[in-house]
Structure 1
Amino acid sequence: MSAPVTALDSVVPRPAHIRARSGVFTLREETTLSGEPRTVGWFRDTVGRATGLPLREAAEGDIVFRLAPERVPHREGYRMEISAAGIEVLAHDPAGAHHAAQTVRQLLGPPAWRRSPVGAGPWRIPCGEIADAPRFPWRGCHLDLARHFLPKREILRFVELLSAHKLNVLHLHLTDDQGWRIEVPGLPRLTEVGAWRKGSQLGAGPRAGHLSRPHGGYYTTADLLEIVSYAAEHHVTVVPEVDVPGHCQAALASYPWLGTDPDRQLDVWTSWGVSEHVLNAEETTVDFFKRVFDHVLATFPGEVICVGGDEVPTTEWENSRRCVTRSRALGLSAPARLHGWFLRRMIDHLHGRGRRALGWDEILDAGEEPPAGSIVASWRGEDGGVRAATAGYDTVMCPEQAVYLDHRQSDDPREPVPVGFLSTLEDVYSYEPVPRGVPAENAHRVLGTQAQVWTEHLDTPSRVDYAAFPRLCALAEVAWSEPARREFARFHQRLSRYHLPRLEAFGVEFRPLGGPHPWQTRPDVPGNPR
């Protein structure tokens, strides 16, 4: 039997090296900080607010965050020495210093996760040393805002939770058949029309119902700039997604001339699934979405922009005389190849402006090879990632069988709206992001992994919390820690004894390990498990 989990070993995700020592360091009224300015500022504001301590800055603080890349060679890595006299952190870069500060916050216990003091302490941290660095550079979570809109405050809160678990990518799904969530100057109907639908499908499967309650919302440019800035303060990169040339019914409802039949007036879709309606391939439509992506580029400074490219029905192209003629004029062998042609135009546009395109793994099957530098998100299993890495493309592993957090968490009949594959906490924790089929010399092409939080059946922030946590804690450890450091039994101990109380203090409405609370069930809403 393994040794009991100690407080120093309670950190999630688990550090690479931990060595406990006797004694404790105590935060006091006179404790001071120094070092990397952003980290010091975050620690003073966040931990100071929770503890009520001033945590003033000094030339040589009791807690110091130093940048020392020559001594900490790995990006985002850090080394920490905790003694009774203080804490010294050496970090490769500001991100590493911030990760170290998050570790200190965890070691302070659940009260340090609150927004205001609930007691006077004492604020003790066990002595020891920690050396840590991430396994993968891409440690992400995808959040679908198109199916159910989330207020901006909830996205900022979600950023804090990602950062607390050392996840560093927030992939925002901003457009789909059921809603358009990003303001684009000069194209007002995208939000006047496309951001709102008349109702929503309720549940899944043959017994699904309908909720006749209008739903919608969108983010202004200022909102998105604030989200990006806030995420950067927490060392999280925001990857925006505008999905083309399918999943576009909200855009088609706004501007019908973008579709294969310009005289057809569609509504923003109120059902889940894949709409058959797609973009046409006229140059005016290409120019329209170049304009959209130019605004995305101006709003989101990160290197990667997602173009979607998934689940594109070809029936409309094949049955439209206009699109058949267009495909022939372009020299394509079949109208279905308009899929790859359109994606290439968007990707070339992004790459020409110094960015990199991310697309779902259908971009490998769209009729044209993705341009060099494209990143493939492997969601239909692992085959897309294997093919991409073998062919020399970078890939992010996000197979629905393993890391889709909207899928049901157990076979318990009380699970709310049970859909998709069974994906338990242990299933997520057991996932290995580098598929066996990837040649060893191409393993570096696997940038990492990300969880997917689709929101067809997650219609409130509470439902998002329930679906994401604690499974996102498990995924964070998969993305951060080497396989040899991972053991589910010990993770379960750390989670139940130490980490869930932290989430509870923060206000996360997570799923209890033993099953949902009565108020988290949805007995009136049918599911459709696979």
Structure 2
Amino acid sequence: MQRFLFLFSILFSTVLGAQKKLNLIPYPQNITLEDGVFIIPETLILSDQLPKEETDYFKKRLGSRVKFKYSSKREEAQLTQALVPQPKIPVTTEEVKEKYTLSISSKGIFITSHTKQGYFLALQTLLQLFEEHREDRKIPALRIEDQPKFAWRGMHLDVCRHFFTVDEVKQYIDYLAMYKLNTFHWHLTDDQGWRIEIKKYPKLTQIGSKRKESMIGAYVDNTFDGKPYGPYFYTQAQIKDVVKYAQERHITVVPEIEMPGHALAALSAYPELACTKGPFEAATKWGVFDDVFCPKDETFTFLENVLDEVIKLFPSQYIHIGGDECPKTRWKECAHCQELIKKNNLKDEHGLQSYFIHRIEKYVNSKGRKIIGWDEILEGGLAPNAAVMSWTGVNGGIEAAKSKHFAVMTPGAYCYFDHYQGDPQSEPNAFGGFTPLDKVYSYNPIPAELNAEQAKYIMGVQANLWTEYILDFKQVQYMIFPRLLALSEVGWGTSDPKNYKEFENRVISQFRVLDKMKVNYAKSIYNISGKVIPANNGIAYELSTSQNSDGIRYTVDGTAPTINSNTYQKPVSIPGSLTIQSAYFENGQLKSAVSSQEFSISKTTGKKITLEQQPSENYSFGGAFTLVDGIIGNVKQLGKTWLGFQGKDVVATIDFGQKTGFSEVYFNTLENKGSWIHLAKSAKIFVSDDNKNFKLIKEIGKEEIQNTKGKIKLNAGSQNAKYLKVIIENAGIIPAGNPGADSKAWLFVDEIGVL
């Protein structure tokens, strides 16, 4: 172990006073506050034995606020004797390589670590302390003993849907370093663009790095900008530069080369690698496409040659090979694929995918590396040494860990930063879902289903940023901040959802740093958050903000609130259909976006509701109550007002509380086949007075639902019942010829109302 004397200045000691929680993110494992302070002098004296690259980084981050001087004199620096690591603990082990101790007293600042990486992490803590105390220049005396819980703390960036420059990628890496993330997952190939130079196959970037136009607006609009996009790609020299830049910040860059699906950009350059003749072009739409790599020798030769060049560029232990969302449509129709299934005694096309991944893994392993892939690589059996990145939920990670395979947890419900993070009504267009800061912070990467031994296979946690709706780097900043801060603390292992408000305050303190860096972070934390709650056999609208609730003003007539509007004191009763607009004011000035919510009240609104099957975590905001909360879903924003069910029917029972008369039942479903969302197959309406014996009163089939485009209004006749049951049938398995063929369809439902 090396003990680095970091900074030293002989100063007088004072008493800090009442101890408080420091504004550090991620919060260290152990902090002991002591008496006294370290007063930041005009000139910091540095030991000349400090690691140069890491120390230069520190000096650059501190900027011109402090001058620096190096010294080797023991009497000046009071250098203590260096500690030697115990032979039984190699410095390369995960247990110690990121461990550090930071001691601050009136006499100086000392960092002890086993490695330069641990030293670098200590610097991030120290930089935050310097920033927090930049005004009074007094850092409290303390001792921090710290190390992360998880070895993999990652952020992903998709540069295929929209491209970002080398300088922007470096900024992204800097953000990770600031908050102690250590893995950058670089998504370099997809249907919409091939972004990495491969010298053996120049057409990949000559042809595959551009597309004729791009989809714009919400997916359901199906509109395009008509503007050629690209060619955009990174040269191998640029990639080496980025990798070196990341290494200097102790961040591992993990490249992703998609296979066997998400291959249209590659096939546009080399159509002979497909099952059909083409021609192909890089995709202009978002979603999933049927044309994928054909598992023939020619394809494997191509991929092996590509991987040879990738492996030379990236020293990471893992190479990400994608493996997700691979439709089997072409393979089912391909004579070569069917013969390959028979020849290798494979069960079906899922077995063929497993064959594909196994073959790639064997090659990557022969180069001394390992593969990691999205959890669809579990289909047909997991390759022997593969690690799983669990995105469709937590089950992929659970299955991998139970079979003694490593896994990184990145479930969409918590870790997809392309989702909305504030009220969708006041947020920029996003992919969908609703993943606010508190939800990210609440995530525990260790599934409850795993025992202690199995939990060891959970390497860590990662968040993903897909860029279909992210047009520039300012929007990248907006989508990752401040959620990256929550991810940081989750990955470090010190998050505490019970004390979320305390964490929120620390986040707000970091905004000053982000402001200085001119980062375009989301200010959703300041905006009014609205929640529908049951009240007096109806509903009320509960408003909240991270600030003082006395500053909330609202209106009920749809007009924009002013400082003279209603002052929020308690949940607002919703007696009938109306629109509430709300905002936060401070010192008479508007400080937040104006939030707007329209209510459409029916006889089901606020009533007790139960679901036989629960929605997907990605689209479960509000739970079953979302279906009776008086809010009609916005077809362009799936975040807060819809429930999403993958492969499941909606079976909802509503208790009116007493016999209630009605004659019409209404609800909406969605169709967005590019995202695997299909209209309901059928719907049935039942009534009952005892919640046991139900009578069918209305049924509607697929054709009628198609004719209404999912906006269902059913004439139920004259009814008078205590219970209403609605069964909305999922479309089931997506048929061939559609994106996501052979996968389970999504069913989205909003309000179930009666009149």
Normalising by the residue count of structure 1, what TM-score does the alignment of the two structures yield?
0.90
Which residue type is aligned with residue 410 of structure 1? G
Name the structure 1 match of 2:152: 138
Which residue type is aligned with residue 179 of structure 1? G
Name the structure 1 match of 2:363: 349
Q: Secondary structure at the match of 1:344?
A: helix
Give the counterpart of 1:234 among 236, 246, 249: 249
Which residue type is aligned with residue 342 of structure 2? R
Give the counterpart of 1:245 among 252, 257, 260: 260
- Give the distance between the partners of 1:468 and 1:309, measured in 2 at CA: 25
After superposition, residues 176-195 of structure 1 pair within 5 angstroms as: 176-195=190-209
Displacement after TM superposition at 1:449 (Å): 0.3
Normalising by the residue count of structure 2, what TM-score does the alignment of the two structures yield?
0.64
**Contact 2:268-2:279 at 8 Å conserved across structures:** yes
Give the counterpart of 2:334 among 287, 302, 320: 320
Which residue type is aligned with residue 121 of structure 2? H
Which residue type is aligned with residue 465 of structure 1? Q
- Give the distance between the partners of 1:152 and 1:160, measured in 2 at CA: 12
Name the structure 1 match of 2:427: 415
| Residue 503 (str. 1) matches residue 514 (str. 2) | yes
Structure 1 residues 425 and 54: CA distance shift in structure 2, 3 A: same
Name the structure 2 match of 1:463: 475
After superposition, residues 397-436 of structure 1 pair within 5 angstroms as: 397-436=409-448
**Contact 1:138-1:450 at 8 Å conserved across structures:** yes
**What per-residue deviation string (whole Å, max 9, x for no partner) do you get for residues 327-367 of structure 1?**
334443334432111111111111111111101111111x2
Structure 1 residues 128 and 485: CA distance shift in structure 2, 3 A: farther
Q: Secondary structure at the match of 2:173?
A: helix
Which residue type is aligned with residue 106 of structure 2? A
**Contact 2:27-2:494 at 8 Å conserved across structures:** no
Which residue type is aligned with residue 518 of structure 2? G
Give the counterpart of 2:407 among 395, 398, 403: 395
| Residue 10 (str. 1) matches residue 23 (str. 2) | yes
**What per-residue deviation string (whole Å, max 9, x for no partner) do you get for residues 435-467 of structure 1?**
011122211000110011111111110111111
Name the structure 2 match of 1:46: 61
- Give the distance between the partners of 1:339 and 1:160, measured in 2 at CA: 37
| Residue 211 (str. 1) matches residue 236 (str. 2) | no
**Contact 1:44-1:56 at 8 Å conserved across structures:** no
Give the counterpart of 2:105 among 68, 77, 83: 83
Q: Secondary structure at the match of 1:32?
A: strand
More strand by share: 2
- Give the distance between the partners of 1:111 and 1:18, measured in 2 at CA: 17
**What per-residue deviation string (whole Å, max 9, x for no partner) do you get for residues 400-422 of structure 1?**
01110111112340111143321
**Contact 1:314-1:335 at 8 Å conserved across structures:** yes
Displacement after TM superposition at 1:128 (Å): 1.5
Q: Which runs of 5+ in 2 are unaligned?
A: 1-16, 529-590, 596-634, 643-755
Which residue type is aligned with residue 449 of structure 1? V
After superposition, residues 71-220 of structure 1 pair within 5 angstroms as: 74-109=96-131, 123-216=137-230, 217-220=232-235
Structure 1 residues 62 and 16: CA distance shift in structure 2, 3 A: farther
Structure 1 residues 288 and 18: CA distance shift in structure 2, 3 A: same
Structure 1 residues 275 and 95: CA distance shift in structure 2, 3 A: same
Displacement after TM superposition at 1:370 (Å): 1.4
- Give the distance between the partners of 1:394 and 1:64, measured in 2 at CA: 42
- Give the distance between the partners of 1:317 and 1:81, measured in 2 at CA: 61
**Contact 2:406-2:459 at 8 Å conserved across structures:** yes
Which residue type is aligned with residue 201 of structure 2? L
CA-based RMSD of the aligned residues comes to 2.7
Aligned-pair identity (%): 35
- Give the distance between the partners of 2:215 and 2:366, measured in 1 at CA: 40
**What per-residue deviation string (whole Å, max 9, x for no partner) do you get for residues 367-413 of structure 1?**
23312x21100001001111110010000000001110111112340
**Contact 2:387-2:406 at 8 Å conserved across structures:** yes
Larger Rg: 2
**Contact 2:421-2:434 at 8 Å conserved across structures:** yes
- Give the distance between the partners of 1:147 and 1:357, measured in 2 at CA: 23
Which residue type is aligned with residue 398 of structure 1? T
Structure 1 residues 249 and 64: CA distance shift in structure 2, 3 A: farther
Q: Secondary structure at the match of 1:376?
A: strand
Q: Secondary structure at the match of 1:316?
A: helix
Moved more, 316-325 or 176-185: 316-325
- Give the distance between the partners of 2:488 and 2:443, measured in 1 at CA: 11
- Give the distance between the partners of 2:259 and 2:60, measured in 1 at CA: 41
Name the structure 1 match of 2:684: none
**What per-residue deviation string (whole Å, max 9, x for no partner) do you get for residues 93-135 of structure 1?**
21111011111111111698xxxxxxxx764422211111101
**Contact 1:231-1:237 at 8 Å conserved across structures:** yes
- Give the distance between the partners of 2:327 and 2:417, measured in 1 at CA: 25
Name the structure 1 match of 2:689: none
Q: Secondary structure at the match of 1:357?
A: strand
Give the counterpart of 1:259 among 270, 274, 278: 274
- Give the distance between the partners of 1:270 and 1:200, measured in 2 at CA: 5
**Contact 2:426-2:593 at 8 Å conserved across structures:** no
**Contact 1:63-1:86 at 8 Å conserved across structures:** no
**What per-residue deviation string (whole Å, max 9, x for no partner) do you get for residues 479-513 of structure 1?**
003356972111111111x2111122122110012
Name the structure 2 match of 1:23: 36
Q: Secondary structure at the match of 1:240?
A: strand
**Contact 1:276-1:316 at 8 Å conserved across structures:** yes
**Contact 1:11-1:107 at 8 Å conserved across structures:** yes
Q: Which runs of 5+ in 1 are unaligned?
A: 113-120
Higher relative contact order by CA 8 Å / sep ≥ 6: 1 or 2? 1
Structure 1 residues 69 and 398: CA distance shift in structure 2, 3 A: farther
Q: Secondary structure at the match of 2:67?
A: coil
Give the counterpart of 2:381 among 368, 382, 405: 368
- Give the distance between the partners of 1:443 and 1:479, measured in 2 at CA: 14
Name the structure 2 match of 1:280: 294
More helix by share: 1
Displacement after TM superposition at 1:62 (Å): 5.8
Structure 1 residues 50 and 342: CA distance shift in structure 2, 3 A: farther
Which residue type is aligned with residue 26 of structure 1? I
| Residue 475 (str. 1) matches residue 497 (str. 2) | no
